Chain A
């Protein structure tokens, strides 16, 4: 039994030796073709128009929140951000 175990162990070692090669090959496929490009919205939008529309959206959200929660305007914080080509609108309402 011990004799065969010796060869079994050797086989396991041979399999192990390919772990790095396998990881290297997969890594090449995953990241090898250069960094993934991310387009920003301000790269292909009219910046002034974008800012005007952003302010318009913020005002509309603030108006809705004011009516809905009957709170003060300074307790509503709206931030419009661009995340990897997507527009994210974050609204914080402080009820304190």
Chain B
């Protein structure tokens, strides 16, 4: 039986989809059988981040309408054969699928996978409820800004209300900028942790590589020369599996710039 996680946030644009793709990729590259479910019906993007947008034939909507079997709708990743995606429809709306439909889909594929990651849409309405319904544990993603943190707080409250224990809710701080923290321009990890009263499972530094990876349709975890980011994401996966891996310190997260880059920055006009 697969372990089912929902990746949620409340606020949009904090990196849920990118993290879902990358955590799934890391799990699959280590040999686990992984299914990713795009629950963002009408605004789907997970296929684009994974570079699978041209391989979609059926979507979860076709499964719900009884048109096809769920296994016919699953799309296998090009490089990682043990990574599959259940795509969402772009023309349907979130109201066309119910939490019970999602539970049914997950129960049908659960035995064939080790992990199922559900990419939740932004907001706390139907799409959120659909995505959360079949999940055992939740990964709440926030960025270090007030609107994202307050929305994360609201989502954690809703998850608790839906009977998720605190130990089943994990926090990822995404797009963290260590140099801003060092200069006192940004909230620290402890500030966010004490405000949300939830355990942090990972801190992901801001990186331009994410944009490059998304544009290429290759998850960051599969790109060459991205060892540092790969290790950070791998640490999150290991912590999710219950291993005790220390969270990188501020210094470890900070990207060391070459002397040439530093020299060039002296002459930048912005």
Interface of A toward B, CB cutoff 8 Å: 16-21, 23-24, 26-28, 30-32, 35-38, 40, 77, 79, 81, 83-84, 88, 90, 92, 94
Contact = CB atoms under 8 A, between A and B. Distances in A.
Contacts of A35: 153, 156-157, 160
B95 A28 contact: no
A5 to B, nearest CB: 15
23 contacts: A16-B183, A16-B184, A16-B185, A19-B186, A20-B181, A20-B184, A20-B186, A20-B188, A21-B184, A23-B187, A26-B146, A27-B150, A27-B187, A27-B191, A31-B149, A35-B157, A35-B160, A36-B154, A37-B157, A79-B98, A79-B100, A90-B98, A92-B96
Contacts of B96: 92
Interface in B154-191: 154, 156-158, 160-161, 181, 183-188, 191
A29 to B, nearest CB: 10
Contacts of A23: 146, 186-187, 191
Interface residues of B, number: 30
Contacts of B65: 94
A63 B191 CA distance: 55
A27 B100 CA distance: 36
Nearest to A36: B157
A32 B125 CA distance: 24
Nearest to A32: B195
Interface of B: 65, 95-96, 98-100, 124-126, 129, 146, 149-150, 153-154, 156-158, 160-161, 181, 183-188, 191, 195-196
Nearest to A91: B95
A31 B187 contact: no
A38 B146 contact: no
Given A23-B191, A26-B146, A30-B150, 5 more contacts: A16-B183, A23-B146, A27-B150, A32-B195, A83-B125
A84 B185 contact: no
Nearest to B65: A94
A18 B186 CA distance: 9
Given A23-B146, A30-B146, A32-B195, A81 B129 contact: yes
Contacts of A92: 95-96
A95 to B, nearest CB: 12
B126 A90 contact: yes
Of the listed residues B100, B156, B186, B195, the one surrounded by the most CB atoms of chain A closer than 10 A to its CB is B195
Contacts of B129: 81, 83
A26 B196 CA distance: 14
Nearest to B144: A23
Nearest to A26: B146
Contacts of A94: 65
Contacts of B191: 20, 23-24, 27
